[in-house]
């Protein structure tokens, strides 16, 4: 006899207050002070707010479904239904409070959420107290913990721990394993411990202070971080000289007059790469490759580098004022490695630069110096003694960091210019500095152990990796955060860093302004001892502040370990996870940048974790073509590996809870069957094959709008939260016809529930998110079966299922591009809209923004997208040569022709084969848009569609006459 587990639907399977979650998630992206992300960089982190809301709603029962389980065979009355509404509203209010940044560590708010989670668990245990495995699976005193098998930046395990749960993190990559240890394992181990540094025992205020949470650990990170800085400055401070402002420097520059005779601290040295001029007349001159001579664009404080050319060569001087137009692009002539010779104006081709770079013939030249002024930046010309100091540094122990970069031209753009090993990403001065910092981490660790031995009551000498919590383990714990500070310095100290002249951002831009290692032609070398961004003291303070303010109080024991998601043991825990996004980010390749320094600092602390020279890559579940024979082979690798990982989750997750999975993807590709998101389709295919049934999809605004340098660049607006449960062992197959019949019965109810504002759902799904949200109930129908069979007996693909689901939402048999345009027009009309929202809708419609631009129906740029009006369509359009013709394009080309050339012009266009085959669909679309414009009170737009509809008969009549006239 099979005993069914009674598992009521959870709130996330029914309803969510999306508006509140989205608002909090978007706001959080602009918060840095005290945020856990300031511990260490990781790519594509989920906001704390979203993770907290997802975990809470994943664990608490939906009131309606719980009632049916508790009252089998009964029908609810009006009073009961009212109770559901009030209970759901109460849960929504808990989430709305929970997601606010101000409440991240609010114990009162958190305790309400924790109590609700425990209450639901108690109800689950009561419902299943007669199950044969009740003692094992449903112990009221032992609630299952959370396991994230793709732990990454650690947001999900951290928020599970904050909600009072045991949290378990695992990842194949050692860097996120260590990040998770620093978030959920180490602070909990030393919770409530007072600091061990000598200052804390001398200062009366600190002696009497109550040290709660990780405050004591944070204080020690500050203290020993400052000690590390002082020791490093004693050793290498001479490599970072100050500048004395002389009268000569201040000649004709009023901005420097207040500083004459004073010594100022350098913030950064600005260098430009150089190559020998390709012009034979100047072949002995190293000419600069400069992308801009601008230093500051701040009104009233602007400055620029002015190149001075003479018979002997050239030099650089600094001028106050706005950058002249001819200097704004430096010596760069166009996108890519295209430059001009400063001496002769001769074109310098990319191939020439690459050849020079790979041969080791690319040089560097100091272009300017940025120094600290009185609440301002001072810009100085290159000084010979400063350049001599920088060039005099001799590298030591270079082989320890001489680790090759992966051969991934998609994400590592610097490879083709000879920067093919990690040690080459740093100047000699930067390299010596990072070696010094890394080595001092070990020395400071010994000091911490010595001080801890004098003040801690525990004498255990077990190492941190062995579970110790005494002086040795504590010293190793502090060394983790100091090693993180070194990593943060490394991020701001490479030859990839650049100088930002923007008025609000006059600073060094860090290495990872994007999820790649690009090539920069002029770079900024930070002063790590200056009081500015990129300095060691500031990094230690950022880390300590995050520790003190964000570490959960009174948390349950939690751990992080290195493991492959395809085989990791879950121990009956429930799962919420954020897996890799197909080929979107090369996590392993990029994280080597940090791994090489962490390994040098912490190999003695975690010998197993840092046993390899670089991060494991071959098993990483991303579709990187360079690691496989082809793009198709990479896709198969991802599909097979992700299927196994999801199957591992399906088999081992706790049966009473759904699985939640974050997914964000924007790449699409076009083939003979249309445009689709390969990553999204492939991932859903893996989920389905793994034996998971999708019970919900929720679009959440978890990505910050904007991009590198230009915040109006195109970027993702949403992550999709998939809610899944393991399929039943007796899942049947079903025919395509029956599948469509079930969709027709299911989706109208689901759509009505999502869009109707009511007491049950005070925050309906926004129109732009509706296409993605409706995938949930549609995929729930598809994925509950072992297979949906086509007429020939073959199993239906996920891509086909998505097309059928989307077709229902569109209520038409229009192509994917037209479906997008129709729904985007409903949302924005002809106005520009946010790229990220368009991207979400396009992916849901199995198309892409770039594909729509190529199709000629959409313009995109500056972070926005906008539909083309009929008068924006080209008059010379030739449908016979157009390989991609959406119905939307046909309709609006017909309107353009009608308005510009009358019925005969429209008839001529209608007579073309590629238009004629789409004529009826275009007419139906015109009816649809006319009705929509009438409803929205857009009379001018409605008139255009009405004119086409009323002229349709005459246009058709004109078609053969036009053809006949042309034939004879």
Tell me the CB-side half-sphere exposure of residue 677, using CA atoms within 13 A: 27
Under the banding of pLDDT at 50, 70 and 90, the label for residue 965 is very low
- What pLDDT is attached to residue 164? 94
**pLDDT tens digits, 362-416:** 999 999 999 999 989 999 999 999 999 999 999 988 778 999 998 887 788 888 8
Enumerate the β-bridge partners of residue 508: 499
- Mean predicted confidence (pLDDT) in 311-320: 92
- Is the predicted pLDDT of residue 60 greater than 70, yes or no? yes
Cα 859 to Cα 868: distance, rounded to the nearest angstrom = 7
Q: How many CB atoms lie within 10 A of CB 729?
A: 8
- Mean predicted confidence (pLDDT) in 641-655: 94
3-class DSSP state of 268: strand
Instruction: Quickly count helices (H) and strands (E) in the chain.
Output: 32, 29
Under the banding of pLDDT at 50, 70 and 90, the label for residue 727 is confident
Cα 605 to Cα 476: distance, rounded to the nearest angstrom = 6
* H-helix segments, 791-879: 798-810, 816-828, 835-844, 849-855
CA-based nearest residue to 13, from 61, 72, 71: 61
Under the banding of pLDDT at 50, 70 and 90, the label for residue 4 is confident
CA-based nearest residue to 687, from 570, 575, 855: 575
**pLDDT tens digits, 564-603:** 999 999 989 999 999 988 777 889 999 999 999 999 999 9
Enumerate the β-bridge partners of residue 526: 268
398 vs 864, residue with greater confidence? 864
- Is the predicted pLDDT of residue 964 greater than 50, yes or no? no
Q: Residue 55 region, left (φ>0) first, then alpha (ψ -120 to 50), else beta? A: alpha
Cα 305 to Cα 288: distance, rounded to the nearest angstrom = 12
- What pLDDT is attached to residue 675? 38
Taking the CA atoms of 561, 214, 577 and 843 in sequence, report the sign of the dihedral they define: negative
**pLDDT tens digits, 142-157:** 999 999 999 999 999 9
- What pLDDT is attached to residue 48? 94
- Is the predicted pLDDT of residue 667 greater than 50, yes or no? no
- What pLDDT is attached to residue 672? 37
- Is the predicted pLDDT of residue 26 greater than 70, yes or no? yes
- Is the predicted pLDDT of residue 967 greater than 60, yes or no? no
Cβ–Cβ under 8 Å, residues 25 and 701: yes
**pLDDT tens digits, 116-145:** 999 999 999 999 999 999 889 999 999 999
3-class DSSP state of 561: strand
- What pLDDT is attached to residue 459? 84
Q: Per mean pLDDT, which range of 353-357, 420-424, 624-628 is the poorest?
A: 624-628
CA-based nearest residue to 295, from 261, 269, 258, 260: 269
> CB under 8 Å to 746, separation ≥6 — which residues?
777, 778, 780, 781
Cα 220 to Cα 199: distance, rounded to the nearest angstrom = 10
- Mean predicted confidence (pLDDT) in 793-817: 79
Most confident of 83-92, 393-402, 801-810: 83-92
806 vs 132, residue with greater confidence? 132
What percent of the chain shows pLDDT beyond 90? 60
> CB under 8 Å to 800, separation ≥6 — which residues?
none
Enumerate the β-bridge partners of residue 332: 339
Q: How many CB atoms lie within 10 A of CB 234?
A: 9
- What pLDDT is attached to residue 376? 92
**pLDDT tens digits, 216-240:** 999 999 999 999 999 999 999 999 9
513 vs 226, residue with greater confidence? 226
Report the alpha-carbon angle 366-369-372, nearest 5. 165
* H-helix segments, 608-630: none
Q: Per mean pLDDT, which range of 453-467, 605-619, 760-774, 868-882 is the poorest?
A: 760-774
Rounded to the nearest 5 percent, the helix, strand and coil shares of the chain are: 50, 15, 40
Mean pLDDT of the chain: 88
Is 451 buried (19+), middle (13-18) or exposed (0-12) by CB count in 10 A? buried
Task: Give helix 816-828 / helix 887-910 axis angle, nearest 10°.
Answer: 110
Under the banding of pLDDT at 50, 70 and 90, the label for residue 544 is very high
**pLDDT tens digits, 529-542:** 998 767 889 999 99
Most confident of 205-214, 327-336, 604-613: 604-613
Under the banding of pLDDT at 50, 70 and 90, the label for residue 2 is low
CA-based nearest residue to 915, from 948, 947, 895, 889: 889
- What pLDDT is attached to residue 919? 87
- What pLDDT is attached to residue 23? 86
CA-based nearest residue to 782, from 846, 819, 723, 736: 736
3-class DSSP state of 582: coil
Cα 682 to Cα 684: distance, rounded to the nearest angstrom = 5
Cβ–Cβ under 8 Å, residues 556 and 161: yes
Q: Per mean pLDDT, which range of 397-411, 682-696, 697-711 is the poorest?
A: 697-711
- Is the predicted pLDDT of residue 441 greater than 80, yes or no? yes
681 vs 701, residue with greater confidence? 681
Cβ–Cβ under 8 Å, residues 6 and 133: no
Enumerate the β-bridge partners of residue 661: 577, 722
φ, ψ of residue 359 to 5 degrees: the values are -80, 0
Strands 167-171 and 146-148, sheet pairing: parallel
- What pLDDT is attached to residue 671? 41
- Mean predicted confidence (pLDDT) in 821-850: 90
CA-based nearest residue to 256, from 368, 384, 374, 386: 374
pTM of the full structure: 0.83
Q: How many CB atoms lie within 10 A of CB 554?
A: 11
Element (H, E) at 471: helix 471-491
- What pLDDT is attached to residue 718? 59
Q: CA 194 → CA 213, 222, 420, 442, distances in Å?
A: 10, 14, 46, 22
Cα 168 to Cα 498: distance, rounded to the nearest angstrom = 38
- Is the predicted pLDDT of residue 108 greater than 80, yes or no? yes
**pLDDT tens digits, 273-292:** 999 999 999 999 999 999 99
Q: What is the DSSP letter of 898?
A: H
- What pLDDT is attached to residue 707? 39
Is 403 buried (19+), middle (13-18) or exposed (0-12) by CB count in 10 A? middle
3-class DSSP state of 608: coil
Under the banding of pLDDT at 50, 70 and 90, the label for residue 764 is low
Under the banding of pLDDT at 50, 70 and 90, the label for residue 676 is very low
Q: Per mean pLDDT, which range of 85-94, 677-686, 785-794 is the poorest?
A: 677-686
Under the banding of pLDDT at 50, 70 and 90, the label for residue 768 is low
Q: What is the DSSP letter of 102?
A: G
* H-helix segments, 911-967: 913-916, 919-936, 939-950, 952-967
Q: Residue 741 region, left (φ>0) first, then alpha (ψ -120 to 50), else beta? A: alpha
Cβ–Cβ under 8 Å, residues 487 and 594: yes
């Amino acid at each position: 006899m099979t005993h069914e587990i009674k598992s009521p639907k959870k709130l996330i399977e029914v309803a969510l207050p999306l508006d509140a979650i989205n608002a909090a998630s978007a706001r959080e992206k602009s918060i840095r002070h005290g945020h856990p992300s300031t511990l260490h960089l990781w790519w594509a982190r989920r906001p704390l707010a979203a993770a907290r809301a997802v975990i809470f709603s994943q664990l608490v029962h939906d009131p309606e479904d719980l009632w049916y389980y508790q009252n089998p065979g009964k029908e609810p009355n009006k009073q009961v239904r009212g109770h559901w509404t009030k209970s759901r509203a109460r849960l929504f209010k808990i989430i709305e409070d929970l997601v606010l940044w101000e409440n991240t560590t609010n114990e009162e708010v958190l305790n309400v959420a924790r109590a609700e989670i425990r209450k639901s668990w108690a109800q689950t245990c009561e419902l299943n107290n007669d199950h044969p495995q009740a003692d094992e699976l449903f112990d009221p005193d032992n609630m299952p913990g959370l396991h994230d098998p793709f732990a990454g930046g650690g947001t999900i395990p951290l928020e599970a721990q904050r909600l009072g749960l045991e949290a378990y993190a695992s990842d194949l990559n050692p860097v996120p394993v260590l990040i998770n240890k620093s978030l959920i394992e180490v602070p909990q181990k030393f919770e409530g411990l007072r600091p061990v540094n000598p200052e804390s025992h001398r200062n009366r205020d600190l002696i009497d202070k109550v040290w709660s949470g990780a405050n004591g650990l944070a204080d020690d990170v500050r203290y020993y971080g400052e000690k590390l800085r002082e020791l490093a400055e004693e050793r290498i401070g001479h490599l970072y000289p100050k500048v004395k402002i002389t009268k000569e420097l201040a000649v004709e520059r009023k901005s420097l007059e207040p500083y004459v005779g004073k010594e100022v601290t350098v913030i950064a040295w600005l260098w430009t790469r150089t190559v020998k001029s390709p012009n034979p007349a100047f072949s002995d001159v190293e000419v600069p490759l400069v992308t801009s001579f601008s230093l500051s664009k701040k009104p009233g404080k602007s400055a620029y580098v002015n190149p001075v050319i003479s018979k002997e060569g050239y030099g650089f001087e600094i001028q106050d004022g706005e950058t002249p137009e001819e200097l704004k692009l430096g010596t760069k002539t166009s996108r890519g490695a295209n430059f001009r010779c400063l001496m002769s104006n001769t074109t310098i081709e990319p191939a020439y630069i690459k050849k020079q770079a790979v041969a080791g013939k690319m040089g560097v030249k100091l272009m300017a110096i940025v120094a600290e002024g009185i609440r301002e930046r001072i810009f100085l010309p290159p000084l010979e003694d400063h350049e001599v100091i920088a060039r005099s540094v001799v590298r030591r122990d270079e082989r320890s960091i001489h680790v090759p970069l992966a051969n991934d031209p998609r994400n590592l753009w610097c490879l083709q210019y000879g920067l093919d090993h990690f040690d080459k990403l740093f100047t000699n001065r930067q390299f010596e500095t990072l070696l010094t910092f890394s080595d001092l981490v070990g020395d400071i660790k010994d000091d911490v152990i010595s001080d801890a031995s004098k003040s801690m009551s525990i004498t255990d000498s077990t190492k941190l990796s062995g579970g110790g919590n005494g002086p040795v383990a504590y010293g190793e714990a502090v060394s983790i955060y100091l090693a993180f500070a070194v990593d943060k310095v490394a991020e701001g100290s490479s030859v990839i860093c650049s100088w930002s002249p923007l008025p609000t951002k006059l600073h060094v831009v860090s290495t990872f302004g994007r999820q790649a290692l690009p090539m920069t032609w002029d770079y900024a070398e930070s002063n790590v001892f200056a009081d500015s961004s990129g300095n060691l003291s500031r990094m230690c303070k950022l880390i300590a502040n995050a520790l003190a303010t964000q570490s959960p109080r009174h948390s349950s024991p939690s751990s992080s370990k290195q493991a492959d998601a395809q085989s990791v043991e879950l121990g009956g825990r429930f799962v919420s996870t954020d897996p890799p996004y197909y080929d979107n980010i090369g996590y392993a390749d990029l994280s080597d940048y940090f791994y090489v320094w962490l390994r040098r600092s912490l190999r003695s602390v975690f010998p197993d974790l840092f046993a390899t020279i670089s991060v494991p890559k071959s098993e990483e579940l991303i579709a990187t073509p360079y690691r496989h024979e082809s793009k198709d082979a990479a896709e198969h690798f991802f599909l097979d590996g992700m299927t196994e990982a999801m199957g591992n989750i399906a088999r081992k997750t706790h049966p009473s809870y759904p699985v939640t999975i974050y997914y964000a993807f924007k790449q699409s590709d076009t083939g003979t069957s249309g445009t689709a998101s390969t990553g999204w389709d492939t991932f859903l295919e893996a989920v389905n094959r793994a034996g998971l049934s999708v019970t919900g999809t929720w679009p959440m605004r978890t990505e910050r709008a904007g991009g590198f340098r230009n915040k109006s660049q195109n970027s993702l607006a949403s992550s999709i939260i998939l809610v899944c449960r393991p399929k039943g062992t007796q899942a049947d197959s079903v025919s395509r016809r029956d599948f469509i019949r079930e969709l027709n019965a299911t989706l109208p109810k689901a759509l009505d529930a999502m869009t109707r504002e009511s007491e049950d759902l005070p925050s309906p799904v926004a129109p732009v998110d509706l296409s993605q949200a409706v995938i949930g109930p549609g995929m729930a129908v598809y994925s509950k079966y072992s297979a949906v069979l086509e007429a020939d007996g073959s199993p239906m693909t996920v891509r086909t299922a998505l097309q059928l689901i989307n077709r229902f939402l569109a209520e038409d048999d229009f192509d994917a591009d037209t479906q997008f345009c129709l729904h985007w027009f409903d949302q924005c009309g002809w106005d520009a809209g946010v790229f990220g929202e368009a991207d979400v809708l396009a992916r849901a419609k199995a198309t892409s923004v770039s594909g729509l631009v190529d199709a000629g129906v959409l313009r995109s740029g500056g972070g926005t997208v906008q539909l083309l009006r009929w008068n924006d369509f080209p008059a010379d359009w030739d449908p016979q040569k157009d390989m991609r013709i959406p119905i939307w394009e046909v309709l609006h080309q017909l309107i353009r022709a009608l308005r510009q050339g009358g019925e005969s012009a429209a008839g001529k266009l209608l007579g073309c084969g590629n238009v004629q085959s789409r004529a009826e669909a275009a007419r139906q679309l015109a009816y649809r848009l006319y009705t929509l414009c009438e409803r929205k009170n857009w009379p001018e737009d409605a008139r255009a569609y009405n004119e086409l509809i009323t002229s349709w008969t005459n246009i058709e009549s004109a078609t053969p006459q036009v053809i006949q006239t042309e034939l004879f």
